[in-house]
Amino acid sequence: MEKSALAASPDAYVDGLNGWQKDRVAELRAAVRAAGPMDEVIKWGHLVYLSNGPVCLIRAEGKRVLFGLWRGQRLLDREPKLKAGGQFEMASASLVEGETLDPATVTALTRAALELNAELGDPTKAAKRS
């Protein structure tokens, strides 16, 4: 994916991708959306899902697709591809061409992250209180 103008909508974001990245983002998007009600927005130039704060993100960049969870460090035992990193207990899985994440696992991870936000509040605000 080349650097370009920000997408006007989540659909436009996916439509602006090509090849395997478009396929992978579409698969991840469907699995995330199956987890429960969230606001789907373009934030920081990629797909972000919000419910009581940010829950997860999907980002196509260079030669990879990233699936990140704000409270993903609490979920590392559920998916070996998740790697801890960043603020707000972030963890993400980096996928290159030919790699996938099981859609049922993505849905379960997203649902767990939704539940954590419901229980603990907005992860970005919780971090500021710490």
> How do residues 43-87 score in pLDDT, each as one tens digit?
999 999 999 999 999 999 989 999 999 999 999 999 999 999 988
Measured CA to CA, the distance from residue 49 to residue 109 in angstroms comes to 13
Q: Stretch 22-30: mean pLDDT, rounded? A: 98
Nearest to 114 by CA among 65, 58, 74: 74
pTM given for the model: 0.91
The model's pLDDT over 55-65, given as tens digits with 9 standing for 90+, comes to 999 999 989 99
| Statement: residue 3 has pLDDT above 50 | no
Q: Do β-strands 39-43 and 54-61 pair in parallel, antiparallel, or remain unpaired?
A: unpaired
Burial class (CB in 10 A: 0-12, 13-18, 19+), 95: buried
What is the per-residue pLDDT for 87? 85
pLDDT at 129 over 90: no
